Structure 1
């Protein structure tokens, strides 16, 4: 299941090979980190999610599109991840679906609001679907962290690119949000593990949260 979404990447042109190798190395690092921090079924599922996120970042960065197949793979892995907790599987699945659905609806509302205010698309439906997938994997606090990392890194990358090219940054410029959001999800997931344990959510570390 994990290899299939990556098959189109094997035909990448020579000029993209170096970038592909770099992304693969980072992906392997995330996979290893997830397994080391959480040597459990959830850790293994998280490690399997990393190549999917890498593929999403690469494809969106090149073509401004997030394939439904990659999102569907992340969704299936996320459902398995939600039910692999030591706690009640049905309760974990329900909480993940609620968080994923809420996150997708928030992104959909943001997309509609931006289109109403600016008269053009600001987020693609692929970004909305990816947000829903992220909600299956991350706690609410981790989702907020991932969105912030993606937004800041995207703006920084665009600003640096514009500066190096000698052009003035433009508010109407298109950015492949998935290119930055997918790695941010991986980072937030690793932090979720690291800060609050392999089978806990980052939200449990908040003051007043139940043990």
Structure 2
């Protein structure tokens, strides 16, 4: 997650290799770790990944049609799929909210320091906020249900 955050903050791109590796690790973890680890857990993790991805794809395409420009990148959506495979539904929603609020707060603080107005057209590397939020969500799940890990 650290590599994803750093690369996205520098290049505004999330490498498919890192998202893919994180997704494979999440599915392996679902099938091999914890008291409920079996193929059902892998299917459930894959279902969560798809369930998170589809609404975000609709949001991405709807925003593009409405505003005529990208608002959410496909790399961000793939990273959200990783969150879906790695975390429970309640945690996933909290993680996405944490990432969005962190990104907005960081943008507001930077604009204030630079004495620049907030712009609706500003680009933010969302993966730089989503990746650490996923890690925080994973830690929270591990601490709240220690027998599962």
User: Normalised by the shorter chain, which TM-score bucket?
Assistant: over 0.9
CA distance in 2, matches of 1:154, 1:62: 15
TM-score normalized by the length of structure 1: 0.68
Q: Distance in 2 between matches of 1:123 and 1:198?
A: 36
Q: Deviations over 1:30-83 (max 9, x none)?
A: xxxxxxxxxxxxxxxxxxxxxxx0000000000000000101110111111110
Give structure 1 regions of 4+ aligned residues with deviation exceeding 4 angstroms.
none
1:149 is displaced (CA, Å) by 0.6
The match for 2:92 is 143
TM-score (norm. length: structure 2) = 0.95
Question: Out of 164, 183, 187, which is 2:136 matched to?
Answer: 187
Structure 2 unaligned spans of 5+: none
Find the partner of 1:152 among 101, 104, 115. 101
Residues 180-189 or 79-88, more deviating: 79-88
From 163, 167, 174, give the equivalent of 2:116. 167
- Structure number, greater radius of gyration: 1
What is the root-mean-square deviation of aligned Cα atoms in Å?
Answer: 1.2
Maintained 8 Å contact 2:30/2:37: no
1:82 counterpart (12, 30, 33): 30
Unmatched tracts of structure 1, length 5 or more: 1-52, 201-211
Trace 1:46-125 onto structure 2 (pairs within 5 A).
53-84=1-32, 85-125=34-74
Instruction: Give the number of aligned pairs.
Output: 148
Residue 66 of structure 1 aligns to a residue whose secondary structure is coil
Q: 2-side partners of 1:190 and 1:152: how far apart?
A: 19
